[in-house]
Copies of this chain bind each other. A is one copy, B any other.
Amino acid sequence: MAGDGGPVTLRGIADRLGLHVSTVSRVLNGPSGERGRAASGDTARRIRELADELGYRPNPHATSLRTRRSNLVGVLFPRLSEIVVATIYEGVEEEATLRGLSTFVTNTHDDPATQRERIGMVLGRRVDGLIIGDAHLDGAALADPALDGTPFVLVNRRTDTGHPAVTCDDPLGGRLVAEHFLALGHRRVAVIAGEPFASTGTDRTAGFTDRYREAGLPLPAHRVRHCRFDTAGGHEAAVALLSGPDRPTAVFAVNDLAAIGTMGAARDLGLRLGEDLALAGFNDTPLAAELPVPLTSVHSPMAEQGRHAVRLLLRRIAGEPVASEALRPELVVRASTGAPVGPDLR
């Protein structure tokens, strides 16, 4: 296919066919397969044939330079090594590919300085838009004036500043867990709430505590503990919650990693999951089902979020009005929340 002299270009094709490059361009870009517009049916066919015989691929730099459209989008996440995030990204990538977009994805580690720097970096690459998965509730990094010209949407986390976002309906998710705990008879419960700057954690927590308040059992402040979004963070928080007197009978960890950390802590404290302690996580990670005690978890449509985010961004780029979306979660009950507690424990 290739291999003659240098990469094959529009001019290469045009010259070989005795045509002008503009003609070739129009044929190759025009609504493919249509006749009558760009060139005679015959010429068009010859162009197309030669083009894919030579393996022609338009030079995206030239195209972007000319059209001021790069078909590139920047994607920011706290860390791709978290499976939830990685799965959202799979959705993003899938949909982006489908729409002819390529993505720059980068890890910001939830550090504001890095966030700003990476935003600058993708902007420097002249992306058409960004998908931001690491927003903090205060939306600080998004106030950067450098972002002014470039459309963006949030995914995974929302902000308080009203930017369009695609999230899981986190308050509902928290509420589902609360319903479940209430149905099992748990009255003394606790929440491992994640980072205070991430809406995922705070919204799930709020949904949960709201429901308990409605049930007439408001949670005291010390039963809600913030922590890092990983196993170690969950472990620490769990130790703090479980080792005092008046131990809660059920714990809601706002993500599965923290839940696994909680399992570790429970193990260390000699508590049996599903018997001495009910535990629920969030996200229904593939691991949840395989754990020695399978984990009750809220299933959230992660890849779906990613796909929606791309579509939302595209609409924003096109200048259409857009609204935030919250995808519906579902509770998956497993052994870790065990059976209803006996009346003695109530």
Interface, chain A (partner B; CB < 8 A): 1-3, 55, 57, 59-62, 64-65, 70, 79-83, 86-87, 89-90, 93, 97, 102-107, 121, 123-126, 145-146, 148-149, 230-232, 235, 257, 260-261, 263-264, 267, 286-287, 289-294
Contact assessment for B60 and A125 in the assembled complex, using a CB-CB cutoff below 8 Å: yes
Which residue from chain B places its CB closest to the CB of A273 in the assembled complex? Answer: B292
- A264 CB to closest chain B CB, in angstroms? 4
Query: In the complex, what residues of B have CB within 8 A of residue A264's CB?
Result: 289-292, 294
Which of B82, B83, B292 contacts A292 (CB under 8 A)?
Answer: B292
Contact assessment for B121 and A106 in the assembled complex, using a CB-CB cutoff below 8 Å: no
- A301 CB to closest chain B CB, in angstroms? 14
Task: For the A-B complex with A60-B124, A82-B86, A102-B125 known, give 13 more contacts whose Cβ atoms are closer than 8 Å.
Answer: A1-B146, A2-B148, A57-B123, A61-B64, A81-B83, A83-B86, A97-B121, A102-B104, A231-B290, A261-B290, A264-B294, A287-B287, A292-B292
Q: Within the oligomer, what is the number of copies of this chain?
A: 2
- State in angstroms the CA–CA spacing of A230 and B102 once bound together: 28
Contact assessment for A90 and B97 in the assembled complex, using a CB-CB cutoff below 8 Å: no
A-B contact pairs, 22 of them (CB 8 A): A1-B145, A1-B146, A60-B61, A60-B126, A61-B61, A79-B90, A93-B106, A102-B104, A102-B121, A103-B104, A104-B104, A230-B286, A231-B287, A231-B289, A231-B290, A232-B290, A263-B291, A263-B292, A264-B291, A264-B292, A264-B294, A292-B293
Query: In the complex, what residues of B have CB within 8 A of residue A82's CB?
Result: 86
Query: In the complex, what residues of B have CB within 8 A of residue A105's CB?
Result: 103, 105
Query: In the complex, what residues of B have CB within 8 A of residue A290's CB?
Result: 231-232, 235, 260-261, 263-264
Contact assessment for B231 and A286 in the assembled complex, using a CB-CB cutoff below 8 Å: yes
- State in angstroms the CA–CA spacing of A291 and B266 once bound together: 11
- A127 CB to closest chain B CB, in angstroms? 10
- State in angstroms the CA–CA spacing of A39 and B102 once bound together: 39
